[in-house]
Structure 1
């Protein structure tokens, strides 16, 4: 509502008052022409106070002159990480083909970013799409909203039936220091969990104390342990000392009861690490060295893996130097080098290589980890140290969509060695069209694995491009298996439209059922929709094999969806058997019309109710 009113307020401020003044002075009516008010110098002045997305999505639409005035890239790009005017958001994302160019990861990120920027109406646009990937009513979206302190979004999601994933939303809000969201979630019955510990991890001491007043005495040792780690990582020394005194009542070790001994044993190996590394989240404080000194004085011993955990942090170099000077143990300096390489820390890697040579195996690991992250500077350090990258490193870089790293590796290894069909398949899985085009232009070989990878991780545009380029699709229906796993009907329809075949023996459906056990409870409905689409389109089914695949799922998945019962009901239905026969020969030799088995798929709600 506020965004809709803003243009009117600007109109009054910039237009009505000057016009009234001119009329009072007896000026002619022609002086009220808006063109005399909407002057470039005036617009340039007030645009400084407008959010960037308002300029890009609203202001530039006023007229051609304004669009030309603000034609720079900072004014022509909508940033989804910031609030987007509703009209602009709806124009871009409401249409059925709006997400054709988005990869699976991008589709999943869209509702998360929208929730974080707090425009509830924009979430309504995504909800109306009825697309699993962009569906805002799922736990990860509520956690994103909570982490950004968007209380109105959290309330809207709750009204729309969004489920909570334990205490994850509360912990996300606590880490961000959003007290109002925390209070609302607690009122909604969300369990406290590790919220106090995550508030401490974020350095929000007052919120931590408020949450502890809710349930300190009822915290199990696991949450008390995480609380202590959070305090050691995100709070200063004084707070750490106070909380340590509160938990252990200022007593010596021999005075603690069994539960307190258990807690101290639980934290003895991790408090110093938490103080050094910021609980592996980069939230460490400036006085981390003082905290380490004090913890050592309290009898906490130096952990064996402190250096290795530190090596993966962004500012690893000064921390590693300090730890090594104090004699902290290093089991394998090659392992430290691998961690720094994966983190992209070239300076820390140089320091470690100067301390001690690493063997060939750890050099290969380091190269692999650097390639996965696309860290060209690290690859150059390793290359200068004599470690030659492998084809597997090229595949790793391609899997991350890192074109600069792939280009660097191809230049060092040569195209004949570096460019393989596995590399192309990995690039297809990254969803990077730029990388795929680059590889194709250099003659990189491919096979059907590339199309299958794109069906799971890529976009409709990517699938269409691969088909146009002549990429093999295979004849076993693997692209359907991959697309069904995502639950994306749009991708399934795209694969079908491009002429991909499925196995006539029913193995496509069997593999799709088997793969379904890999999803968690919060995504299971997506896979069910993918399987339903396959059945609805006449995909052949080997019922015995499909039921066996469903029954073979690990026991801890069995409670999520009674897939075996669903398949059995479908198999036993007399009408379904007729449709299965018709799928082989068609009614009177004709083709089966898509959707013929839909009535039998209506037994799905009944199956779900039997759970």
Structure 2
């Protein structure tokens, strides 16, 4: 995948000379996202930016959303080695104007259906019209994006031109709270499914949920679970009154969202829970919720420690371990996958086990510092697998380090 930010190579003009003090003041007053441009003015500005980067510990990257806002800047970025692929076209469609997209296409930038999806999401009919007329493909994502963005006119035009849709159009409209779009889509024969109710519940759009149910939309346990995860007790209460099913995922959703009040109410109404509740509370970072759940007899297992480690919640991990919560190799794996070196170091210091999966997770996620520390402290690895996982996910810096290491 093409990253959303790119570093730019050095190609400065050596003929321009300014004093170091002036350059420092200029760079210091600029938004860091524009240091990448300043680097290319001359050698002195390049040196000034590098010095400022070291001092502030920030990299000079230019967000693609800024590059795509003008033909001049996009053209400059291309000259400096900015990737020229379908992701570039997507960013132009999402953040730029039609003239920028037209210029990019005229200069050979490839595109795919994500361009139409981005235009529909923004509600820009002119961009969508031109892209479609110019041969840009589209698919069901276009209608889904228009529905979620609340752009009925875009959705209507796309359908009139033959753009396909599916159940996601209705679920997107429900998730965005756009009842009028959901009503129009259904009137035009758009299919729906349980996700329509679940997404309406997740966003707290009770009116949309009520209309959907009144018109026969199916639902399942995820309606209650999604509402609880967002803390929408009133939605859960209404759904239960109407006979909607719930299970342990409802408690887990409330716990992961840190909605202790909701969790208490849900439990008071007899909702079941399981080890997933403690895992969710730990992963969500709510120690208060975890402590309450345990005080009420909620079971836990090693996934509680894994969940805390995955999100870097060292304090929760420490409390859980002090209260006798079991752990296993999954704790180190989760810490490495999340790039939480301090958690990994603490866990190992407390005797937590690890295996080859710790290194693989670090490599796959691109966390070189975690991988280096793990290997330096005796963690076993499958070198070939680590290199393969890192390469598949675009982490070339990990590959470069790993390839010269001992097996």
Alignment TM-score, normalising by the size of structure 1: 0.51
- Is residue 382 of structure 2 the alignment partner of residue 462 of structure 1? no
Secondary structure at the counterpart of residue 382 of structure 1: helix
Secondary structure at the counterpart of residue 361 of structure 2: helix
Match of 1:472 in 2: 352
* Counterparts in 2 of 1:412 and 1:513: CA distance versus 1, 3 Å: farther
Aligned counterparts of 1:441 and 1:215: Cα–Cα separation in 2? 60
Deviations 1:463-507 (A, max 9, x none): 333344x32344x5553343343444432332244x3353xxxxx
**Pick from 25, 29, 46: which aligns with 1:4?**
25
Aligned counterparts of 2:260 and 2:210: Cα–Cα separation in 1? 24
Aligned counterparts of 2:356 and 2:142: Cα–Cα separation in 1? 49
Aligned counterparts of 2:91 and 2:323: Cα–Cα separation in 1? 45
**Does structure 2 retain, via aligned residues, the 8 Å contact 1:200–1:231?**
yes
CA apart distance, 1:381: 3.2
Match of 1:351 in 2: 238
Aligned counterparts of 2:217 and 2:196: Cα–Cα separation in 1? 7
Match of 2:130 in 1: 213
- Is residue 381 of structure 2 the alignment partner of residue 494 of structure 1? no
CA apart distance, 1:316: 2.3
**Does structure 2 retain, via aligned residues, the 8 Å contact 1:427–1:435?**
yes
CA apart distance, 1:386: 0.9
Aligned counterparts of 1:270 and 1:88: Cα–Cα separation in 2? 47
- 1:550-565 to structure 2, matched below 5 A, reads none
Structure 1 or 2, whichever has the larger Rg, is 1
Match of 1:531 in 2: 402
Aligned counterparts of 1:172 and 1:186: Cα–Cα separation in 2? 13
Deviations 1:206-242 (A, max 9, x none): xx4135324425244xx05443444444354455445
Aligned counterparts of 2:402 and 2:361: Cα–Cα separation in 1? 11
Secondary structure at the counterpart of residue 191 of structure 1: coil
Match of 1:57 in 2: none
- Is residue 331 of structure 2 the alignment partner of residue 450 of structure 1? yes
* Counterparts in 2 of 1:172 and 1:458: CA distance versus 1, 3 Å: same
Alignment TM-score, normalising by the size of structure 2: 0.72
* Counterparts in 2 of 1:521 and 1:451: CA distance versus 1, 3 Å: closer
Aligned counterparts of 2:87 and 2:28: Cα–Cα separation in 1? 38
- 1:400-479 to structure 2, matched below 5 A, reads 400-413=284-297, 417-418=299-300, 420-468=301-349, 470-474=350-354, 476-479=355-358
- 1:140-155 to structure 2, matched below 5 A, reads 142=64, 149=69
Secondary structure at the counterpart of residue 123 of structure 1: coil
* C-alpha RMSD of the superposition: 4.1
Runs of 5+ in structure 1 lacking a partner?
9-49, 52-84, 95-121, 125-135, 248-259, 503-507, 540-611
Deviations 1:431-476 (A, max 9, x none): 22232333344444444442343233233333333344x32344x5
Aligned counterparts of 1:306 and 1:479: Cα–Cα separation in 2? 35
Secondary structure at the counterpart of residue 247 of structure 2: helix
**Does structure 1 retain, via aligned residues, the 8 Å contact 2:201–2:224?**
no
Runs of 5+ in structure 2 lacking a partner?
1-21, 32-48
**Pick from 296, 307, 329: which aligns with 2:217?**
329
